[in-house]
Amino acid sequence: MATGTGTVNFQTVRESNLRTVLRTVREHAPCSRAAVAAATGLNKTTVSSLVSDLMARGLVRETGETSQRRVGRPGVLLAPDERSVAAIGLEVNVDFLSVVAVDLLHRELVHRHVPLDARSAGARACAHRIADTLREVTEAPELRERTVVGVSVAVPGLIDAPSGTVRRAPNLGWREVPLRELLLSGLAGSALAGATVLVDNDANLGAMAEYRFGPLAGLPDLVYVTGEVGIGAGVLVGGELLRGAGGFAGEIGHLELDAGGPECSCGRRGCLEALAGIGAILRTALPDLVPGRPLSGAEVAELVAVAVDRASAGEPTAVAALERAGTWLGHGVATLVNVVNPGAVVLGGYFVPMARWLVPRCREAARAGSFAPEAGGCRVEPSDLGMSAASRGGAAVMIHGLESGALPLPQP
């Protein structure tokens, strides 16, 4: 009879092997059981047992095709079962929620954009609205018959990821908000009651989206810079997020670049966000249109379009404002190059439609401010993932968690 310790060890080893087989099937699909055994080093009997277990959990399926081998019976081919499970990523921003649900192959199932004045509503009201939105999304026809294995919530601020507490989010006006705890309470009794809930920084999850789906996918040393109301950076080193000792790395928007500069939302002066954030760009580019108060999300989107139109027409004030912001961004990128030497910096959010003017000046300033020649080989490129990068990246992190052990496997 196995001892308690032996049973635990057996279960641990088996679960690790299940994840190994799942990852192998995803990487090599369509593939036979024999091919999985060869790739993993596990014997064929063990692989057959593990595949049967994964099929019962809705993670692997037989494709109905067979491999063409010269000797012996044809092997039935396997693939990830994209029909049974889903993961959800949700981004909280100042004026909206962005929600993306994906299947096991990272294919988009649901995409929602929900207007929400998060800054005025307050943290607890936002948590209730997030929970309601997640409940509504699970009722979508595309998700109704699926098991949601995890939910990721991206927030622009300092996040204690293990506890899911938002330590500080200046643009939302949040401090010490136990967001994960609030969401778990709000989702009790729903279809998501058993799902894992992760809260993380929006730039971190945007970086993961670029790493998995962007044009530079697979580049292990990459930085994603948000271009929404605030500026944050998700930093990947060797394909892993650089979090720092307290999990607060990447707050590039609060680098103090000009001690006598404009006041920042954090209370200091001359931060990168106060010099090159979207609010700062619009106030400088459109002095005749921008009111002397915080802008709503709808207003930001409209004014960004106007600024781009004016710059495209060669209007000097708009062009100068965008180019000056690009130079300030380049100073920030130079700091990143000198500290972590990324292979690329990707500008996201509202920086994308402004890239024609931002990127050349950003590249120039990055080269000038970097100690290494030619900015250490760092490229500066606009994102092509749109405003849902963080939510899409969060959903991808949940799917990856099934293979990495960060999420429990669905029950058979």
Active site residues: 202
CA angle 138, 141, 145 (to 5 degrees): 70
Distance CA 392, CA 152 (A): 9
Q: Are 66 and 111 in contact (CB under 8 A)?
A: no
Beta-sheet pairing, 85-92 with 60-66: unpaired
Alpha carbon of residue 266 to chain centroid: 23
> Which has the closest alpha carbon to 396: 101, 60, 91?
101
Q: For 144, how many CA atoms within 13 A lie in the half-sphere containing its CB?
A: 4
User: Which residues lie below 8 Å from residue 169, measured CB to CB, with a gap of 6+?
Assistant: 155, 156, 157, 158, 175, 177
Alpha helices, DSSP H, located in 158-226: 179-186, 202-213
Give 3-state DSSP helix, strand, coil % of the chain, rounded to 5.
45, 20, 35
The alpha carbon of residue 81 and the mean position of all alpha carbons in its chain are separated, in whole angstroms, by 23
Task: Output the DSSP codes for 304-336.
Answer: HHHHHHHHHTT-HHHHHHHHHHHHHHHHHHHHH
**Is there a contact between 336 and 223 (Cβ–Cβ < 8 Å)?**
yes
Token duo for residue 176: 């010490």
Pairing status of strand 31-32 against strand 60-66: unpaired
The residue behind tokens 């002066």 is 269
| CA separation for the pair 164, 399 (Å, rounded) | 19
CA separation, residue 256 to residues 77, 273, 332 (Å): 56, 9, 10
